[in-house]
């Protein structure tokens, strides 16, 4: 057959006849095949005749009382077995394609957004959807919300002072900032530090630690404490800020649950007489109008399920 004839043959072939023939061969007879397929014996006989007509060859040896396949019948049976195997695999193959999550997730996050909830969500996301990709972009909380509103980020992990309409907000956890010093300062290791001693120290902080920034409530609290001097160092990245504090450039704020491990390692010291820090909420910000891909949907769903299952008291770090 040429290509045109083959295409015409495939188009005209009744593929149900092949399945009927496969069952006849497996059951080794027309009667048993009819019972399995819930049809009459004449229907099976008619199907076999049609199949032989389409292939223009004899498939069964009807001259013997026993069920016998001709050489052509054996070859067709083997091909039908392969076809059946391929068809049964189609469901699983297509199911895998449907369930496979690919795509990219862009998370805009404040540098100090650290929580076991976030870590666990990242691990679960990567384990369940290894072909999906993810980027964590450190920005200010305000910029994170703006990126989500502009649909330039899948979601953001931010401090939100003034919620904007049209966005969704889910509290991930609550935190407080402590005031810390490094081991090369005269305040290190002391529980009797006075406010006056703190006031005498240089200050490093986040750029948003000002009256107009996302940490405005912290700026107001430290000024009420009497510590309102201008910073000599700033960084959006908590690790860089921690470095400046640790090496003695100045004292500065770090979330208490982040700073505690450095205290335990003897690298930082919390100035506990500074006890006026407000409570901040780190919020998952999403845009319901964003057309999210499967990966974005999955990551956001994992985070939301995590906070749904954990009471807010267990998501409060201070």
Task: Give the pLDDT confidence score for residue 15 in this predicted structure.
Answer: 85
Check residue 29 and give its pLDDT.
Answer: 86
Report helix, strand or coil for 309: helix
Q: How many helices (H) and strands (E) does the chain have?
A: 12, 10
Distant-in-sequence, close-in-space partners of 110: CB < 8 Å, separation ≥ 6: 138, 139, 140, 141, 144, 157, 158, 159, 214, 282
CA–CA distances in Å: residue 22 to residues 16, 17, 36, 42, 277: 10, 9, 12, 17, 77
Look at residue 27 in the predicted model and tell me its pLDDT. Answer: 86
Asked if residue 77 lies in contact with residue 22, where contact means CB atoms within 8 angstroms, the answer is yes
Phi/psi of residue 8, each to 5°? -65, -40
pLDDT at 237: 93
Sign, Cα dihedral of 244, 247, 251, 255: positive
Alpha-carbon distance of 46 to 42, in angstroms, equals 6
Taking the mean position of all CA atoms in its chain, how far away is CA 279? 28
DSSP 60: B
Structure-derived torsion over alpha carbons of residues 102, 108, 110, 112, reported in degrees to the nearest 10: 10
Q: How far apart are CA 219 and CA 107, in angstroms?
A: 27
Q: Which of 173, 170, 168 is closest to 112 using CA atoms? A: 173
Give me Rg for the CA atoms of the chain: 35
**Tell me, what's the pLDDT at 134?**
94
pLDDT at position 224 is 93
Dist. CA 90–CA 96, nearest whole Å: 10
Burial (CB < 10 A; 0-12, 13-18, 19+), residue 137, is middle
Digit-by-digit pLDDT tens for the chain (318 residues) are: 677 766 777 777 788 889 998 898 888 888 888 988 899 989 998 998 998 888 888 888 866 566 788 899 889 888 888 787 677 666 655 655 556 788 899 999 999 899 999 999 999 999 999 999 999 999 999 999 999 998 989 999 999 988 989 999 999 999 999 999 999 999 999 999 999 999 999 999 999 999 888 999 999 999 999 999 899 999 999 999 999 999 999 999 999 999 999 999 999 999 999 999 999 999 999 999 998 999 999 999 999 999 998 999 999 998
Distance CA 206, CA 177 (A): 11
């Amino acid at each position: 057959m040429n290509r045109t004839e083959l295409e015409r043959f495939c188009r005209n072939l009744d593929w149900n006849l092949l399945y009927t023939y496969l069952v006849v061969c497996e059951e080794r007879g027309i009667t048993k095949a009819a019972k399995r397929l819930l049809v009459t014996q004449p229907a099976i006989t008619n199907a076999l005749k049609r199949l032989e007509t389409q292939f223009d060859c004899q498939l069964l040896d009807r001259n013997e009382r026993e069920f016998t396949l001709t050489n052509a019948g054996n070859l067709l049976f083997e091909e039908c077995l392969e076809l059946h195997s391929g068809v049964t695999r189609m469901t699983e193959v297509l199911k895998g394609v449907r369930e496979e999550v690919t795509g990219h997730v862009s998370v805009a996050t404040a540098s100090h957004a650290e929580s076991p909830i976030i870590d666990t969500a990242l691990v679960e996301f990567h384990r369940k959807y290894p072909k999906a990709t993810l980027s964590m972009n450190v920005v200010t909380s305000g910029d994170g919300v703006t990126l989500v509103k502009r649909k330039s980020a899948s979601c953001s992990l931010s401090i939100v002072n003034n919620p904007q309409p049209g966005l969704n907000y889910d509290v991930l956890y609550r935190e407080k900032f402590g005031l810390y010093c490094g081991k090369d300062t005269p305040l290190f290791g002391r529980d009797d530090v006075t406010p006056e001693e703190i006031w005498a120290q240089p200050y490093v902080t986040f750029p948003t630690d000002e009256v107009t920034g996302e940490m405005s409530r912290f700026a107001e609290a430290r000024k009420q404490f009497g510590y309102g001097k201008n910073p000599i160092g700033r960084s959006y990245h908590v690790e860089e800020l921690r470095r400046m504090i640790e090496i003695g450039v100045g004292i500065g704020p770090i979330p208490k649950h982040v700073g505690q491990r450095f205290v335990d390692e003897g690298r930082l010291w919390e100035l506990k007489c500074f006890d006026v820090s407000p409570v901040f909420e780190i919020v998952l910000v999403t845009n319901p109008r964003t057309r999210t891909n499967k990966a974005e949907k999955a990551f956001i769903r994992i985070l939301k399920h995590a906070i749904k299952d954990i009471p807010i008291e267990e998501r409060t770090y201070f």
